[in-house]
């Protein structure tokens, strides 16, 4: 094997970086009579939103269609709960985080709860509980 052919994988990796996943989901939950519903929903990339149940609380499941995250992947999650609305947001399973061989994983989560609203991911965070109404 010549020296120039042994450099080929290194040169190819430098000119063809791996494609990384990017996803963004956003939902606004609002009161609709005695129920809470997803008033607005947005999804792009490898992240999806599913709403299996809407009653007094609206359940929202974030699905990562890629099955996990690896170095260089980016995810953005925005959840807004209007006054007197109640939302429960979770993922479909424990998220897999794979070893990064370079770039880190970037995840941004923004939660905003209006007065009287409640947001839960296992723990209800009512506005006025001493925790900030917006967590960034």
Please compute the mean of the pLDDT values over residues 2-22 and round it to a whole number: 57
Kindly report whether the global pTM for this prediction surpasses the value 0.75: no
Looking at the domain assignment, is residue 62 inside a domain? yes
d(CA 65, CA 79): 19
Say if residues 82 and 58 touch (Cβ distance below 8 Å).
no
Residue 117 lies in a domain: yes
What does the pLDDT read at residue 6? 53
Pick 94 or 13 by higher pLDDT.
Answer: 94
Question: Looking at the domain assignment, is residue 82 inside a domain?
Answer: yes
Question: Count of domains in the chain?
Answer: 1
Task: Return the exposure string of 90-116: e unless at least 16 CB atoms fall within 10 Å of the residue's CB, then b.
Answer: eeeeeeeeeeeeeeebeeeeebbbbee
8 part of a folded domain: no
Look at residue 56 and tell me if it is in a domain: yes
Q: Which domain holds residue 73?
A: 20-135
Q: For the chain, what percent of residues have pLDDT higher than 70?
A: 69
């Amino acid at each position: 094997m010549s020296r120039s052919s042994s450099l080929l994988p290194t040169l190819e990796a430098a000119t063809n970086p791996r494609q990384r996943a990017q996803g963004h989901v956003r939902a606004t939950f609002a009161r609709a009579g005695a129920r809470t519903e997803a008033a607005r929903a947005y999804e792009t990339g490898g992240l999806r939103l599913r709403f299996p149940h809407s009653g007094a609380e609206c359940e929202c499941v974030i699905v990562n269609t890629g099955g996990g995250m690896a170095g260089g992947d980016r995810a953005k999650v925005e959840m807004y709960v209007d006054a007197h609305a109640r939302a429960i947001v979770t993922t479909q399973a424990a998220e897999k985080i794979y070893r990064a061989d370079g770039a880190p994983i970037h995840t941004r989560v923004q939660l905003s709860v209006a007065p009287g609203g409640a947001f839960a991911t296992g723990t209800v965070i009512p506005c006025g509980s001493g925790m900030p109404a917006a967590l960034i």
